[in-house]
Structure 1
């Protein structure tokens, strides 16, 4: 961890301590230490193959940590033994939603049916929260237009919007999102940024603020949304601090990421 890391004032909602993950014979995470402050957006950046997506999947229990501790709201959610099964359903029930890079939508179901499946509190379309739907349609109008279309017939960008909307259909305490802007048109990216800002402020129907851990390669999005940033390299977090400080330090960007954020605006 960077020795110059500052202490953030918000309490951590999610904490990873010394997390290792093996996938088959491959050792992917090598002792990840990460803190995600409550009510903030934490960006998880790094070169391709650094371990960012594996970190999200390990948090959700899709891949099991072989060593270390993962705690949500002070309670351990990682399996205590390598022989224990993944706990993804239990983890989701705590109010954690995950948007994978591959979107995770059901191609044969309609947009409406995809959202219904993601809404734990509804068993039929008429039971979906109308105000919440209107809020989603305001940011992603294509979902309303293609409400009864099979999700598999949507464009790549529309599928990504649907995947994000599935995570937002109900209030969540923590969102884990893997490259949400991938495949989206610039105008939709701006809508996504505003939607996540509203969630962080608790502005969606006056709900409590939502905490976000976001993997992103679009640095305009990272700079616009991030309060905190953690940079990964070779399966470890090698820097953590304020997003603004990284965005303003091109030398640090080059050292940690091998590029300048200014060149990707």
Structure 2
């Protein structure tokens, strides 16, 4: 794919949830092999955007394309099979299952843990050593940071072209945030595109290549993360606070 061609593109996307009109014509482009930050105040429509991309909520107007394919009307399972993974804010961990069993559920090509791609699993253990340490422990017994690592590890247990993450830094200790940033940078280096919703602006500043800022269900600013990080006045205008 041409690096100038977006891997993911939303064109004038509207989403209704019941009687509520949440997204009002979202235009968004996610380049291949980059980390794109989606910022905005609470209630701006960021999570709805991710859920609409994944088909969990259907767009009522507009279109969503991934790698040139129109995915607007596809079911969530079909979208996942195209190499798109989603880690929601609540992480979606199966608390009563072990770390191993959580990972196995996501590895669609494997029926037993021994059938998970060993090289890929070792790479994930390198990113998140706690997953190997607690491999046979119930996922519900993990700390918040370890659960977040499991959620991301599960999302990448198979190769992905695009990873959607909803606030992976929320509530994490600084040392865990550093580990998460390191892992996401490695994922980007491996060619994975990442669309990341984040409220922790320092986390965002350290990671983002490009940024889109949402307000009232629309993208009101798009550009480089570096440019936004250097412009305190623009930050205040868009977000109500400065990095």
> Is the pair's TM-score, using the shorter chain for normalization, greater than 0.5?
yes
Deviation at 1:184, TM superposition (A): 2.1
Are the equivalent residues in 2 in contact too, given 1:179–1:216 (CA < 8 A)?
yes
Which of the residues 251, 254, 265 maps onto 2:233?
A: 251
Deviations 1:168-204, CA, capped at 9 Å, x for gaps: 21210000000011132211211111111111111xx
Q: Secondary structure, in 3 states, of the residue corresponding to 1:192?
A: helix
| Counterpart position of 1:13 | 7
Take 2:201 and 2:119, find their aligned partners in 1: how far apart are those partners? 32
Take 1:192 and 1:10, find their aligned partners in 2: how far apart are those partners? 27
User: Which 5+ residue runs of structure 1 have no aligned equivalent?
Assistant: 1-7, 80-85, 203-208
Are the equivalent residues in 1 in contact too, given 2:15–2:57 (CA < 8 A)?
yes
Are the equivalent residues in 1 in contact too, given 2:35–2:208 (CA < 8 A)?
yes
Which of the residues 179, 201, 221 maps onto 1:191?
A: 179
Which of the residues 78, 90, 111 maps onto 2:99?
A: 111
Deviation at 1:9, TM superposition (A): 6.0
Give the 4+ runs in structure 1 shifted more than 3 A. Answer: none
After superposition, where does 1:11-90 map in structure 2 within 5 Å? Answer: 11-79=5-73, 87-90=75-78
Take 2:52 and 2:157, find their aligned partners in 1: how far apart are those partners? 23
After superposition, where does 1:144-155 map in structure 2 within 5 Å? Answer: 144-155=132-143
User: Which 5+ residue runs of structure 2 have no aligned equivalent?
Assistant: none
Structure 1 position 136 matched with structure 2 position 124: yes
Structure 1 position 164 matched with structure 2 position 152: yes
Deviations 1:118-174, CA, capped at 9 Å, x for gaps: 112211100112222222222222111211111112222221111111112121000
Which of the residues 178, 191, 215 maps onto 1:233?
A: 215
Take 2:72 and 2:213, find their aligned partners in 1: how far apart are those partners? 22
Take 2:90 and 2:198, find their aligned partners in 1: how far apart are those partners? 14
Are the equivalent residues in 2 in contact too, given 1:160–1:183 (CA < 8 A)?
no
* Superposition TM-score, scaled by structure 1 size: 0.89
Are the equivalent residues in 2 in contact too, given 1:140–1:188 (CA < 8 A)?
no
* Superposition TM-score, scaled by structure 2 size: 0.96
Take 2:132 and 2:199, find their aligned partners in 1: how far apart are those partners? 28
Instruction: Give the CA RMSD over aligned residues.
Output: 1.3
